Amino acid sequence: MSVTDSAAENAPPTQPPPSAAPARTGWRAAIMRLHFYAGLLVGPFLLIAAISGGLYAAAPTVEKFVYADQLEARTDGPARPLAEQVAAAQADRPGLPVSAVRTGEGPGLTTRVLFDDPSLAADGRQLAVYVDPASAQVQGALPVYGSVEALPIRFWIDRLHVDLHLGDVGRFYSELAASWLWVVALGGLYLWWRHRRGNPRRMLAYDRKARGRGGRMSRHAAVGTWLLVGLLFFSATGLTWSKYAGENVAQLRTELGWTKPALSTSLQPASGPGGGGEHADHQMPAAPSVVAPEVAERTRAQNIAILDRAVTAAAARGVDGAVQVSIPTDPDVAITVAQTRQPWRMGIDSATVDPATGQVITVLTFASWPLMAKATELLINTHMGWQFGLLNQIALVAFAALLVTVIVRGYLMWWQRRPKRGGFPNPPARGALRKVEPSQAIPAILGVAFVGWFLPVFGVSLLAFVVLDLVIGAAKRGRANLRNST
């Protein structure tokens, strides 16, 4: 062995660049501080969203029992004509205009005849009159909401989940929660990954023997890791309904061609040159027009008379099963027959029918939708608990319960950080980003700024965080300097 070899063998190990360890420490401290503050901010809102979301998922099953008198038909036998069932509903509500009829979702279930009720219009609801299809007898009436016709229990929970029953002002709560949920989830994942030294198996397991704050952190982080995909899913789909971020998402989907096509209901020929075909012009719905009251009543009666023909014609073209049939009052508007959302149904098909001939004009199938429009539809239906029926609802309730445990443990950990002499828990130390290399910090800040622009509620609340933190920091330094000077 040469002297050179011996010197090389005994040389101290090569050290990483001086900035590497501080940078890693800086990122960890910055993310920990962000996770700490963000968790404090959105924790109560996430708790409300989780509890109300779990209740919403269970609501369809509850409604089947609570409203069984309206939903379940009292007699058996072949269904009477839809026109006769609608006439029975009209006799029960003579002062309201009928707008659509919805066939039963299975044997032994009632037909729903939908009326436009001015007293419900402010909430976006309609009045559904339930008719026994075999006897054409009315079994009651309930307000319904949305394409799934949420009944009063589900509607009340839905408003709690969306806006806390506060209207547009309350929508900030749900948008704030959805905007920060993915940040809290990914930040927590990073911290747990560092704590478990990047071992996936250890990240999915918690320490059963640990007690106190360490045991709570282990369970908080491990269960949060189990829920990670779901947390990102609910954040993304929740943002599509939000007020400000939702507008940006809708604009992006439109520009990328990810929106679902609209079925044309106009009976007037398209002006100007253009191709025909089964799906031609299905992007343009009929423009609203003013119709004289006597013309509207006559048109409504004519359309009611051919409801069964319209349903049969649409079924022959594949639009079958439980359907909702519109009853237009404009003679230039076609009847629309659309499948209703049913468990395990991958999308809905719809068709327009010419009232004069009873023949199908246009069919719009789910298969013809753009790929991302299909994905969006299925993901949103899953979020709402519709897509996979009872299994979907059970999964959502279980997810909500686990999320509640994660949030509660997070607050218990926060409380255990409080000083022994009393007072509120202290957040992780400031100044973490100053330890990060500018080549890493600047792109990260620019990326956050872009996300803050696309998700405005996230951007404004993050800016408020930073300003508040700077003010608190300046106040503490001022008090410290004052004590030192005296």
Domain residue spans of the chain: 29-66+163-257+395-421, 67-162, 435-476
Q: With bands split at pLDDT 50, 70 and 90, how would you rate the model's confidence at 436?
A: confident
pLDDT for the residue numbered 416: 78
429: phi then psi, degrees, rounded to nearest 5: -60, 150
CB 323 within 8 A of CB 311: yes
pLDDT for the residue numbered 14: 47
pLDDT at 393 over 70: yes
pLDDT at 74 over 80: yes
pLDDT at 104 over 50: yes
pLDDT at 37 over 90: no
Look-up: residue for tokens 């839809």? 82
Give the DSSP H/E element, type plus range, for residue 233: helix 228-241
More confident residue, 477 or 447: 447
pLDDT above 90: percentage of residues in the chain: 66
pLDDT for the residue numbered 419: 62
Distance of CA 111 to the CA centre of its chain: 28
Distance CA 41, CA 395 (A): 27
Side chain identity, residue 201: R
Q: With bands split at pLDDT 50, 70 and 90, how would you rate the model's confidence at 198?
A: confident
Distance CA 351, CA 319 (A): 7
Mean pLDDT of 418-423: 62
Order of strands across the sheet that contains 111-115? 138-145, 125-131, 111-115, 98-102, 323-326, 335-339, 350-353, 360-364
∠ CA 414-415-416, rounded to 5° = 90
In the beta sheet, which residues pair with residue 90?
none
pLDDT for the residue numbered 13: 47
Give the DSSP H/E element, type plus range, for residue 148: none
List the end-to-end C-alpha distance of the chain, in Å, as a whole number: 66
Helices 371-384 and 228-241: angle between axes, nearest 10 degrees: 110
pLDDT at 420 over 80: no
Distance CA 377, CA 147 (A): 13
Residue-by-residue DSSP string for 265-310: -B-SPPSSS---STTTTTT-PPPP----HHHHHHHHHHHHHTHHHH
Classify residue 384 as left (phi > 0), alpha (psi -120 to 50) or beta: alpha
Nearest to 142 by CA among 154, 130, 134: 130
Mean pLDDT of 85-97: 97
More confident residue, 95 or 485: 95
∠ CA 389-390-391, rounded to 5° = 95
pLDDT above 70: percentage of residues in the chain: 87
pLDDT at 158 over 70: yes
474: phi then psi, degrees, rounded to nearest 5: -65, -40
| Identity of the highest mean pLDDT range in 284-293, 340-349, 471-480 | 340-349
For 74, 153, 233, 436, 467, the CA distances from 36, given in Å and listed in that order, are: 57, 36, 22, 19, 16
Nearest to 325 by CA among 316, 313, 368: 313
Classify residue 111 by its DSSP letter. Answer: E
pLDDT at 478 over 90: no
Mean pLDDT of 373-378: 94
pLDDT at 281 over 50: no
- Is residue 158 classed as helix, strand or coil in its secondary structure? helix
pLDDT at 357 over 80: yes
More confident residue, 422 or 449: 449
Nearest to 223 by CA among 401, 417, 43: 401
Find the range with the poorest average confidence among 73-87, 265-279, 454-468: 265-279
Distance CA 26, CA 45 (A): 29
User: What is the average pLDDT score of the chain?
Assistant: 87
pLDDT for the residue numbered 468: 84
Nearest to 221 by CA among 42, 35, 417, 24: 35
- Is residue 357 classed as helix, strand or coil in its secondary structure? coil
In the beta sheet, which residues pair with residue 352?
336, 362
Q: With bands split at pLDDT 50, 70 and 90, how would you rate the model's confidence at 23?
A: low
In the beta sheet, which residues pair with residue 145?
125, 150
Q: With bands split at pLDDT 50, 70 and 90, how would you rate the model's confidence at 270?
A: low
Find the range with the poorest average confidence among 230-239, 321-330, 421-430: 421-430
pLDDT at 4 over 50: no
Distance CA 51, CA 402 (A): 10
Give buried/exposed letters for 229-254 (b at 16+ CB in 10 A, else e).
ebbebbbbbbbbbbebbbeebeeebe
More confident residue, 8 or 119: 119
